[in-house]
Structure 1
């Protein structure tokens, strides 16, 4: 019996040692990253992403701008400005519609961040999307659909690059103060809040460094305090305000199979010991 107990203690001790060793190693590891993003002026065509036909107000249409378009006379009624570094036909800002208040256009901005990801730490902002939700004159063209292209570069302790496309569908609601607001959408005190549907959030990046496997995970984050509320893939945005949505990443250590096996063995033996007692 002593030998069994001794083996159990040894197994659990080994598991704890392995877990502690992995934790120390993970805590000491970090990566430095750089990002670059831009709204694509060629609409839905980019590196194999073909234009798609969408239904809006009962009419089937293709929302696709001429490549490099920078004025509201293009096919999708958007105005692009401030070119994004390193991405063809991409811009950091886009406006649409005729504003009710001069000098206050509706639009989207993207700001890219550089930073550090520490293994098994919290989420870190890699970019911020701002929706300038303003009232537009009835009958003017508004944003229907758009792509955002983003690059994520690891610059230290090694170099690697990956790119992803966000697909965005946008619904401009009534701007009339007396208009009916959908209660499933409205959350601010100013009618009527707009909403987005987003697809194509960057897939996780998996890599091995120093014999240890890691994963970089991504998510979108926003709450009522930032003007964005996320419900699954629907993003609600407060009317007549600037609303911020954050793209975030975190670095996660993937446990080694041997560590998992030893931990499992120790827990299994502990369970058997309790049953005998």
Structure 2
């Protein structure tokens, strides 16, 4: 892979953004996002690393970056160009499907919205894994990068770009239901799994004299088909599985406030000790 599961930062970096404006009772900011799968993935001629030995296939194919025709010649088919992302596409397919026309693949949707300070998590995008059975010996996804741009468009303008590094294992679909018990969590054999690195780092900034941070996370809602444990994402076989990318805006307490809280806790502890 060209960026090798890396984390790329554009514009903001880790710098603090200083903005002056009229204060408001509840601070909100508007955002826009755009995401695309980069045509620089890897695949295996057969099943991926943990299971390919069962098929006796060891060939690894390195996709050609910058495939303008959305077909990179190594079994991964990219389509639907992503807005504003060079050589990025919103969908990618792979493998020779058991059921004609039902390809395994990944889709990404990008959302615009509003973050209110200290108001909880908001969806900024959704990754969908179309988990379908592929024939033995198919070229299947191994690694890929998803590049995402997060734009703050109001009350000020700023941008950050980041690449999620994704590795994928297409498990062997055993007709007798013999699956890896550490991966399997549904009744349909055999579930697949992802490892994801490069979840965007928090964005810190100061607005009207107050400090804020935008935090990001991956979230597999109940019934989404994704089960998240640390960086391991298990995905249900034979279904569409949705993984949400979420953000929240958090107010950073001022040092004086933290000191007062600490003093209050210490006094409470002394009171309990004396009683």
Using the size of structure 1 for normalisation, the TM-score is 0.81
225-234 vs 168-177, greater mean Cα deviation: 168-177
- Give me the whole-angstrom Cα distance separating, in 2, the residues matched to 1:138 and 1:120: 49
Corresponding residue of 1:65: 64
Deviations 1:55-86 (A, max 9, x none): 674748463333125465623x2000000000
Higher helix proportion, which one?
1
Aligned pair 1:36/2:38, yes or no?
no
Q: Give the root-mean-square deviation of aligned CA atoms.
A: 2.3
Distance change (3 Å), C-alpha of 1:267 and 1:188? closer
Deviations 1:69-106 (A, max 9, x none): 5465623x200000000000000000001111111111
Which residue of 74, 92, 105 maps to 1:107? 105
Larger Rg: 1
Contact residue 216 and residue 247 of structure 2 kept, 8 A = yes
Contact residue 69 and residue 79 of structure 1 kept, 8 A = no
Contact residue 42 and residue 66 of structure 1 kept, 8 A = yes
Deviations 1:152-191 (A, max 9, x none): 0111110000011111111001224225211111111111
Q: Which runs of 5+ in 2 are unaligned?
A: 1-22, 43-47
Contact residue 166 and residue 196 of structure 2 kept, 8 A = yes
Q: Which runs of 5+ in 1 are unaligned?
A: 1-24, 45-53
Partner SS, residue 264 of structure 1 = helix
Partner SS, residue 262 of structure 1 = helix
Distance change (3 Å), C-alpha of 1:62 and 1:136? closer
Deviations 1:2-43 (A, max 9, x none): xxxxxxxxxxxxxxxxxxxxxxx8960111110000000133
Distance change (3 Å), C-alpha of 1:107 and 1:276? closer
1:1-277 correspondence runs (5 A): 28-43=26-41, 57=52, 59=58, 61=60, 63-68=62-67, 70=69, 74-75=73-74, 77-272=75-270
Contact residue 220 and residue 227 of structure 2 kept, 8 A = yes
Displacement after TM superposition at 1:268 (Å): 3.3
Displacement after TM superposition at 1:199 (Å): 0.6
Partner SS, residue 143 of structure 1 = strand
Corresponding residue of 2:10: none
- Give me the whole-angstrom Cα distance separating, in 2, the residues matched to 1:225 and 1:144: 25
Structure with higher RCO (Cα < 8 A, 6+ apart)? 2
Contact residue 43 and residue 147 of structure 1 kept, 8 A = yes
- Give me the whole-angstrom Cα distance separating, in 2, the residues matched to 1:40 and 1:27: 41
- Give me the whole-angstrom Cα distance separating, in 1, the residues matched to 2:84 and 2:32: 12
